[in-house]
Amino acid sequence: MSGPDALPDPAPDLVPDPAPDLGRVWLGVVAQVWRREPGRLERLAARLLRSPALARALLTTPSLLVPWLIATVVVLGVGAGVSLGTGQPMVALLAPAVTAAAIAYAYGPAVDPAWELSCSMAVSDRMVLLVRVLAVFAVNAGLGLLASAVSGEAASVTFGWLVPMTAMCALALAVATLARSAIAGAMAGMTGWMITVLSVRVTSGQFSAALTRTALVLPYLAITVACTAVAVFASRIPTGGSG
């Protein structure tokens, strides 16, 4: 175009360099192509937990296969123990400690491949652990409800252990979110569970009998020591690497 109607060429110094904009446009495009839109459940969890990171941790917990299997086996095993030990309040009281220690182990440094990296993140690793405990109980409670339709034993484990513990974990997470402290949440959950267990036993007159039977002291002590050992192992700080 060189006729009289042709637009004059812009001054070279006014022509923007297209390369940086093209780069930015390209990133915008690939970001849209690659992004995974969060589902409804994740958006709801993000709103309730006030953290998209915790919501993502909640939803991805079952996909970490080995930790998930370890945690699920322990949760169901302890649940079976709780339903067999009906009438022994100490069994019910120690059960959450055993389970929490096992889940901390499963999603801790010994099994979780990215644990060390998680420890350097702004979102507290303890909050992530609380979220994972809730995910383990909630999914197993859902499966337990389905199994309850065909099995009385499954119903006993589901309604005597999985559903109440899911509620306690939800309570713990709610308190932790409000108080911005995972420890405060865990304390609230444990307190809620203790009140529930003890109030049921006190009304049926079994509480003092179970606490005063000397034959049970040794097993209780052994379980407490085992829980403490697992918790210490799960939260230990490994030594430096080869460097």
Partner 1 sequence: MNIELTDLTRRFGRNQAVAGVTLEAGPGVFGLLGPNGAGKTSLLRMLATVIPPTSGRMLLLGRDPRSYERRREIRRRLGYLPQNLGYYPSFTVVEFVEYFALLKDMPPGRVPVAVAAAVERVDLGGKARAKLRTLSGGMLRRVGIAQAIVNDPELLLLDEPTAGLDPEQRVRFRALLRDLGQHATVVVSTHLVEDVGAACTEVALMDAGRIVFHGTPAELTARGAADGAGDSPLERGYTATLASARMTGTRS
Q: Which residues bind partner 1 (CB under 8 A)?
A: 27-28, 30-32, 34-36, 46, 52-53, 56-57, 60, 63-65, 112-123, 128, 237, 239-243
Minimum distance from residue 206 beta carbon to partner 1 (Å) = 42
Minimum distance from residue 68 beta carbon to partner 1 (Å) = 10
Question: For residues 114 and 218, which CB has a smaller minimum distance to partner 1 in the complex?
Answer: 114
CB atoms inside a 10 Å sphere around CB 98: 21
Segment holding 107, helix H or strand E:
none
60/132 Cα distance (integer angstroms)? 9
In the numeric block, which tokens belong to residue 44? 């709801």
Helices (H), the chain: 18-34, 40-49, 52-60, 65-84, 89-106, 115-118, 125-148, 152-157, 163-179, 182-204, 207-212, 217-234
Closest by CA to 95, choosing from 1, 161, 189, is 161
Question: For residues 117 and 215, which CB has a smaller minimum distance to partner 1 in the complex?
Answer: 117
Minimum distance from residue 126 beta carbon to partner 1 (Å) = 11
Q: Please, what is the Cα angle at 152 between 150 and 156, to 5 degrees? A: 125
Question: For residues 110 and 147, which CB has a smaller minimum distance to partner 1 in the complex?
Answer: 110
Minimum distance from residue 69 beta carbon to partner 1 (Å) = 13
Minimum distance from residue 51 beta carbon to partner 1 (Å) = 8
Residue appearing with tokens 């210490």:
232
In the numeric block, which tokens belong to residue 66? 């080995």
Fill in the DSSP letter of residue 214: G
Minimum distance from residue 169 beta carbon to partner 1 (Å) = 20
